[in-house]
């Protein structure tokens, strides 16, 4: 059976050239991990809407807006940047932005847990929890991007092949 691949097995692969090509591709991908300011602001607002919608009475619309908005924003970011959070190494992207991405995730989960557990709290406390989660998400987005750029850019350059 004939193969339609472009592999020419008669010529050996130069490992140094292959390493350079992979290193250049990694550097180009690392440079793309830079979200515009409005992405971080929108993500913060959507997290706040989701937390508020979960904790405030009769505000399921805010919860759905936050959830659907975060999904849509994540899909757009994957399309623009090319780095997904759901790659075969599930937590790789989160680890690339660590510790900033981890802190933002923990604060969001804590705010969601607070509004679920403290159901009889006044509405202002739900608003404060939503605001804190949104502000932390907004503030830690750029440092998480910078951390991911540094880690992606230095991953192949150090010779750390996994």
What is the pLDDT averaged over residues 77-84? 69
SS in 3 state form for the chain? CCCCCCCCCCCCCCHHHHHHHHHHHHHHHHHHCCCCHHHHHHHHHHHHHHHHHHHCCCCHHHHHHHHHHHHHHHHHHHHHHCCCCCCCCCCHHHHHCCCHHHHHHHHHHHHHHHHHHCCCCCHHHHHHHHHHHHHHHHHHHHHHHHHHHHHHHHHCCCCCCC
What is the rounded distance in angstroms from the CA atom of residue 89 to the CA atom of residue 85?
9
What is the rounded distance in angstroms from the CA atom of residue 39 to the CA atom of residue 52?
20
User: Mean pLDDT lowest for which of 26-35, 90-99, 121-130?
Assistant: 90-99
What is the rounded distance in angstroms from the CA atom of residue 154 to the CA atom of residue 71?
29
Q: So what's the pLDDT on residue 112?
A: 93
- Could you read off the pLDDT of 5-63 as tens digits, one per residue? 555 556 777 778 777 877 777 677 666 667 788 989 999 999 999 999 998 888 889 99
What's the predicted TM-score (pTM) here? 0.72
What is the rounded distance in angstroms from the CA atom of residue 58 to the CA atom of residue 12?
67
What is the rounded distance in angstroms from the CA atom of residue 28 to the CA atom of residue 22?
10
User: Of 74 and 128, which is predicted with more confidence?
Assistant: 128
Query: Is the pLDDT assigned to residue 80 strictly greater than 50?
Result: yes
Q: So what's the pLDDT on residue 162?
A: 39
User: Of 146 and 132, which is predicted with more confidence?
Assistant: 132
Using the structure block, give the residue that is written with the tokens 């010779």.
159
Contact 97, 144 (CB under 8 A): yes
Q: How confident is the model at residue 159 (pLDDT cuts 50, 70, 90)?
A: very low
- Could you read off the pLDDT of 142-158 as tens digits, one per residue? 888 887 777 776 654 44
Q: So what's the pLDDT on residue 95?
A: 64
What is the rounded distance in angstroms from the CA atom of residue 70 to the CA atom of residue 46?
6
Q: So what's the pLDDT on residue 78?
A: 75
The overall average pLDDT reported for the chain is 79
């Amino acid at each position: 059976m004939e193969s339609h691949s472009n592999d020419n097995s008669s010529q050996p692969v130069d490992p140094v050239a292959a390493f350079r090509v992979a290193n250049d591709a990694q550097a180009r991908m690392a440079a793309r991990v830079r979200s515009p300011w409005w992405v971080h602001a929108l993500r913060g607002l959507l997290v706040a809407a989701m937390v508020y919608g979960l904790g405030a009475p009769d505000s399921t619309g805010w919860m759905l807006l936050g959830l659907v908005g975060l999904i849509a924003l994540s899909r757009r970011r994957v399309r623009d940047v090319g780095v997904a959070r759901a790659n075969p190494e599930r937590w790789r992207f989160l680890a690339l932005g660590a510790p900033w991405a981890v802190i933002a995730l923990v604060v969001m989960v804590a705010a969601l847990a607070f509004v679920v557990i403290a159901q009889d709290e006044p509405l202002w406390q739900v608003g404060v929890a939503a605001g804190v989660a949104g502000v932390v998400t907004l503030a830690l987005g750029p440092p998480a991007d910078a951390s991911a750029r540094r880690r992606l850019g230095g991953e192949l350059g150090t010779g750390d092949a996994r």
